[in-house]
Amino acid sequence: MNAAQVDSAQVEALAEAAADGIEFDGFAAEAEGDGYVLATEAGSKRVVHGDALDDAAAEYAPYVTNWYFWHAEAPQAEDRWAYLRWLERADDERVPDRYDALEAGTTREWGQLRVTVTVDEAGTRRYELRHVDDADAAPADLTDHDDPLDARQLAKHDDRDRYRPLKTAPTLQTGWRFADLGPGELVRAVESFYPATVANWHREREGELDISHWRETIGRQSGIYGVVRTWDRGEGHEHVDWVAEACCVDSQCVKRREWQYDEETDLDVDGGDGEFPCREPCSVVIAAARRWTKLEGEQSRTYEFELTPSEKEQIEDIVDAVADGRTEEIREADVYEGANRYRARFLRAKRFDDDGNLSGVSTDPEEAEGGADADGSSADEDEAAEEASDD
């Protein structure tokens, strides 16, 4: 067992609190006459005179130091307090067993974060924070940080230095470590990586999470995003299933989607297994839906392409690889992979004409050369102009 030791400040705080009575984590203490009664859930009980409280507290050191940490050192805001207790499984394990685990280090995952909690002999918790993919990395191979607000900068770009518009995308960069954070610092760092996740996780546990479903959220959109409302005519929700499958599954976001089509209508797509909830369609989803609204407004056409069976399957492989983000994993030598770069280049050389048309089939035989609309501007140019006029 961890060799917990009670200091004078903890004994003084224990004596003061015992006047009103203490019941916490299997430990009880109360003032009785000119002495005190100390007890645990294991049946241990001791009645002592006031001048013997130091010795009695030492006998119950794990319980006393645990009580002191949670009431004098841990953040007292309900959501942060609950989160820190969740990290060390405080509601699932007795104090002596928990201290044994904390001595070696208790680890939890939060999205792509790996939090390890330890305890010193005075009961103070310390926290190490790193990327889950760096679980086995030697400290010397990681860059150490002390300021929890450094997490904001680390969250901005992925390992390829690309900007991350969605902070809960599973693209958090690796190679860093916060080696020794206090309880308040740990929560600040976590919230800097994943804003509002601790608060929403706690609200959900308390049955107070305010969920804004698709139809409610879309109904609030205005300006350039108001067009999304035209895609949502109350004729079913298959289009929202497509959105959720594209943006909101575990491979795309570490949150667990709790919003549905509306309060009475669940989506067919699974919400994922993330530890913390997503309470409404995010800005990335709305921006993507705006583009899809425009694309889905087009009328379907029938095209005829000449492809071999293997070429058809290769096009399907390419779409799957891009959608799943696997193109980086396919090596140049993997010519049996449909999305292999050389195979894709061969298909382009064979089947694309000089204007980039698949099998020489124009997207719109009647459109002007260069993909212009009747007014001479492309669809992308029209959208850019629309966005500029709304800014």
CATH of the domain at 119: 3.30.1360.190
Among 200, 181, 192, 168, CA closest to 82? 200
- Indicate whether 297 pLDDT > 80: no
Q: How many residues comprise the chain? A: 391
Q: Which residue has the tokens 């050192």?
A: 73
Question: Which tens digits make up the pLDDT trace of 128-139?
Answer: 999 999 999 999
pTM greater than the 0.95 cutoff: no
Q: Does 3 fall in a domain?
A: no
Q: Does 302 fall in a domain?
A: no
| Residue-averaged pLDDT of the chain | 89
Q: Tell me the C-alpha distance between 128 and 106, whole Å.
A: 10
Q: How far is CA 129 from the centre of its chain?
A: 14
Q: Which residues contact 70 (CB under 8 A, 6 or more apart)?
A: 24, 25, 81, 85
Domain boundary among 203, 226, 244: 203
Q: Is 31 in the same domain as 129?
A: no
Q: Tell me the C-alpha distance between 314 and 302, whole Å.
A: 21
Q: Is 120 in the same domain as 145?
A: yes
Q: Does 2 fall in a domain?
A: no
Domain boundary among 148, 178, 203: 203
Q: Is 80 in the same domain as 66?
A: no
CATH assignment at residue 258? 3.30.70.2320
- Domain around 236: 210-296
Q: Does 301 fall in a domain?
A: no
- Indicate whether 83 pLDDT > 80: yes
Q: Does 303 fall in a domain?
A: no
Note every long-range contact of 257-264, with CB atoms under 8 Å and residues 24 or more positions apart, other chains counting: 258/204, 258/209, 258/211, 259/211, 259/212, 259/213, 259/214, 259/217, 260/213, 260/214, 261/213, 261/214, 261/215, 261/237, 262/213, 262/214, 262/215, 262/216, 263/213
Q: How confident is the model at residue 376 (pLDDT cuts 50, 70, 90)?
A: very low
- Quote the number of domains for the chain: 4
Between 232 and 271, residue with greater pLDDT: 271
Tokens of 87: 């990290």
Question: Which tens digits make up the pLDDT trace of 312-340?
Answer: 999 999 998 888 888 888 888 888 898 88
Q: Is 46 in the same domain as 158?
A: no
Q: Is 218 in the same domain as 180?
A: no
Q: Is 196 in the same domain as 264?
A: no
Q: What is the mean pLDDT of residues 169-184?
A: 97
CA atoms within 13 A on the CB side of 333: 0
Q: Is 240 in the same domain as 283?
A: yes
Question: Which tens digits make up the pLDDT trace of 90-142?
Answer: 999 999 999 999 999 999 999 999 999 999 999 999 999 999 999 999 999 99
Q: Is 260 in the same domain as 315?
A: no
Q: Does 215 fall in a domain?
A: yes
- Indicate whether 379 pLDDT > 70: no
pLDDT value, residue 223: 79
Q: Is 367 in the same domain as 321?
A: yes
Q: Does 1 fall in a domain?
A: no
Domain boundary among 22, 42, 72: 72
Q: Tell me the C-alpha distance between 88 and 91, whole Å.
A: 9
Name the phi and psi angles at 23, rounded to 5. Answer: -140, 110
The conformation of residue 368, written as its DSSP 8-state character, comes to: B
Residue pair 228/290 in contact by the 8 Å Cβ criterion: yes
Q: Is 111 in the same domain as 25?
A: no
pLDDT value, residue 302: 87
Q: Which residue has the tokens 């805001």?
A: 77
Q: Does 67 fall in a domain?
A: yes
Q: Is 16 in the same domain as 56?
A: yes
Q: Is 194 in the same domain as 115?
A: yes
Residue pair 168/253 in contact by the 8 Å Cβ criterion: yes
Tokens of 302: 């029938």
Tokens of 371: 């993909």
Q: Tell me the C-alpha distance between 196 and 25, whole Å.
A: 28
Between 375 and 299, residue with greater pLDDT: 299
